[in-house]
Amino acid sequence: MRRDGRRGPAFWLLGGFFVLFVLFLYGPLSTIVLLSFQGPDGGLTFPMNGVSLNWFRNLFEKQAVGDFGGSFLRSLILGVMVMATTVAVSLLAGLAFRRRFRGATFLFYLAVASLIVPSILVSLGVGLGFQIAGVPPAWYSSAFGAQLTWTLPFGLLIMFAVFNRFNRSYEEAARDLGASSWQTFSNVVLPIILPSLIGVGLFGFTLSYDEFARTLMTAGTFNTLPLEIYGMTTNVTTPVLYALGTLTTLFSFLIILGVLATILVLRARRARRTAG
């Protein structure tokens, strides 16, 4: 804000506030990471009663918690399904919206409405619909669809942002050089928007992997991981809960970091190519 290059009191005030905000975001999370290493006699709160991997071991004994392995696998597969669908469908819809077509405005508002309708409504509606239609709800059908109503609007909005700043002259140049529309898309458009598509995929996967409300009424017989964790909160009173929290959060962090690193590498490579 100041042109003279010195940082005024407002900077330090707001900066301090920002640091507090980040602490607020990460502080609680780091306490459960610490507490998951509680000794065998430790409880849900500090002090630490020794340090051990006891609760992580406990996690992998079947009787300690419900079906941790199975629910993790289901969440993983569902996350990948939602990710792939979100990327493909948002990309296609993003391409469609680059031109005017009848019903475009309605479809756009429908997608926005999908963000505003409370999750529990979607959950109840999809669950009831399946029940009335006589189709048993399952994580790979009804829960899959219910989660898409949350991930697709995000994907679509990101695609809008991407195509909004997309320079059309690249496509025109490709066409002038005799490329077919498929060649233009696969050799010119796709490489340019690839980092953003990976971003859409990350959103799709993580939102699905962590979704609770939309899965509650739609998952059917077998739980996804968030449902399993929620079940645990009511009957597990040992740090094994924190061990599970630490592991799944670590898993999320690894995925996020992996994706960000991929995007950075892609960009660096492109920058090098355009420079050279």
- How wide is the angle at C-alpha 182 spanned by C-alphas 179 and 184, nearest 5°? 45
Say whether residue 192 binds another protein (CB under 8 A).
Answer: no
Site residues (CB under 8 A) for another protein, limited to 193-212? 195-196, 198-200, 202-203, 206-207, 209-210, 212
- CA 107 – CA 125 distance, rounded (Å): 20
Site membership for another protein, residue 173 (CB under 8 A): no
Question: Cis (ω within 30 of 0) for the bond into 47?
Answer: yes
Q: Any contact of residue 242 with another protein (CB under 8 A)?
A: yes
Size of the site for another protein (CB under 8 A): 107
Considering only residues 125 to 144 of the shown chain, the ones binding another protein according to CB under 8 A are 125-126, 128-129, 132
Q: How many CB atoms lie within 10 A of CB 214?
A: 27
For another protein, the closer CB: 16 or 69:
16
Q: Which is nearer to another protein, 7 or 62 (CB)?
A: 7
Binders in 63-122 for another protein, by CB under 8 A? 85, 88-90, 92-93, 95-101, 103-105, 107-108, 110-122
Measured CA to CA, the distance from residue 271 to residue 152 in angstroms comes to: 30
Q: How far is CA 226 from CA 29, 128, 209, in A?
A: 16, 21, 8
230 part of the interface to another protein, by CB under 8 A: yes
Q: Residue 229 interacts with another protein (CB under 8 A)?
A: yes
The CA distance from 113 to 6, in Å, is 46
Amino acid, res. 232: M
Q: Is 259 a binder of another protein (CB under 8 A)?
A: yes
